[in-house]
A and B are shown apart, each in its own frame.
Chain A
């Protein structure tokens, strides 16, 4: 079943991409929201991830199971470099934004009861090195197994294992105070890229 889907994706079958969007857009959104803490950035990451997936459709391997690891790999790169991906797809993003109501979306997060906990989690995640953070978010927060994370990140399974172990060690080393929500801090410290994206909305 996955073979057929993979073949259709490689062929640029729009319907197959629609199905993947339905199946996985929420997974990508949740992952992006948890790692960035910003609702509007998370939506941009969803759009950019699927545009990149379309552009890179030939890179879907003909064999394999779920395409989620492939998609998470692309999302990870988008998260690393939102601005670069944004530049490539500026025209398409332009249109997506024209259909959005950005202020409303941000308010959803601001109103969230869990906003502070999310901000604290994002802050704690940022204490990790980028490579460890990516593995941690993929494996622990998004539930990928080692093999899937290895596929998403393009690294050997042993590397996933060791990065995850280092991430856990480092988290243990963080003090209670550092992990606790920091009052007065704006929820969701944002990357410059994210900030730029949001400025672009106004």
Chain B
């Protein structure tokens, strides 16, 4: 580095290296994980895994958050106390019929072609539960008993998702633009099998070992596939038919997205007590957005606490990242 013009005020503290034996053990475990398919379900040994609803809700943002960097200087003015919403008990019996209607409507829509060098543009309004000050709760005793998580203010979000691997996407949120590194490509979703049985098997196989509960991650996976993408109609239909097979899905007669649009929703409550709803226009069954909230009191918050809200306002295909649709 040639731009260190003066002695640093805060030089790097001396720390011991990772010893060889620990290096070897960590590497062995890593190599084993990536080279074998492990059939056994996760044994729960981690109390923390049950705690963070943030994990679940922020997984909503995973497509970007994992490797794109959300702005972290978010002042108090950019978050709000999470509102409490009414908890609809949900109807499990009517869920399947609803998924059938969603699949029929999705399958009948005209296809949008996405060329291999193009980008899928999605404009939305979003608010997710975030750590008020990520990775900054330096004094545990002070924050004990306090909820370090807050809901974003609803804000605009634009994403340019590469159609295929090899080009870099973009994301623009709160006026800041970031390179998109961690996203799957549109084709990684769009090219999945359209036969519901095969699709279900693929989703469970691909998410195996992630999270505590295979059904939770499968439902999240489908939610991600629907959120910021342009899918062939046959695949969109297959995703709804597949989601219908996940245990615990319910029909929610009335929900509301981040743009205030009311719709009919399908939802599912995960093992952490957070329900995620996918909301649809009650006439056209077009995807409107998502809403998540706690259905019971948890360490993160009270029952009814809103943990995420989104609304997709526009989907389009553009030729380069950053370009607005015509």
- Where the two chains meet, the residues of A that have a C-beta atom closer than 8 Å to any C-beta of B are 10, 12, 14, 17-18, 21-22, 25-26, 29-30, 33-34, 42-43, 46-47, 50-52, 54, 56, 58-59, 61-62, 70, 73-74, 76-77, 79-84, 86-97, 99-100, 105, 108, 112, 114, 117-118, 120-126, 129-131, 134, 136, 139-146, 153-155, 168, 171-172, 179, 189-193, 195-197, 199-200
CB of B68 within 8 A of CB of A108, answer no
Given A18-B31, A26-B17, do A193 and B59 touch, yes or no (CB 8 Å)? no
Report which of B28, B55, B65 forms a contact with A83, defined as CB distance below 8 A: B55
List residues of chain B with CB within 8 A of the CB of A195. Answer: 140
* CB of B112 within 8 Å of the partner chain: no
List residues of chain B with CB within 8 A of the CB of A136. Answer: 10
In the complex, the 7 A-B pairs of residues with the closest C-beta atoms, listed nearest first: A196-B48, A91-B42, A189-B138, A130-B72, A141-B12, A121-B13, A87-B55
Across the two chains, which residue of chain B brings its CB closest to A30?
B15
Give the complex CA separation of A90 and B44 in angstroms: 8
* CB of B143 within 8 Å of the partner chain: yes
Chain A min CB distance to B44 (Å)? 8
Q: Is the interface of B mostly helix, strand, loop or mixed?
A: loop
List residues of chain B with CB within 8 A of the CB of A154. Answer: 67-69, 178-181
List residues of chain B with CB within 8 A of the CB of A56. Answer: 66-67, 181-182
List residues of chain A with CB within 8 A of the CB of B168. Answer: 61
Determine, out of B102-110, B207-215, B287-295, B306-314, the stretch whose residues face the partner at the interface. B207-215
Determine, out of B1-9, B77-85, B92-100, the stretch whose residues face the partner at the interface. B1-9
Q: 8 extra interchain contacts, Cβ-Cβ under 8 A, other than A26-B17, A146-B3, A199-B48?
A: A74-B67, A74-B182, A80-B131, A80-B134, A96-B30, A142-B12, A191-B137, A196-B47
CB of A58 within 8 A of CB of B165, answer yes
CB of A76 within 8 A of CB of B134, answer no
List residues of chain B with CB within 8 A of the CB of A105. Answer: 22
List residues of chain A with CB within 8 A of the CB of B9. Answer: 168, 171-172, 179
Report which of B10, B33, B139, B180 forms a contact with A92, defined as CB distance below 8 A: B33
CB of A92 within 8 A of CB of B209, answer yes
List residues of chain A with CB within 8 A of the CB of B2. Answer: 145
Report which of B4, B25, B34, B165 forms a contact with A54, defined as CB distance below 8 A: B34
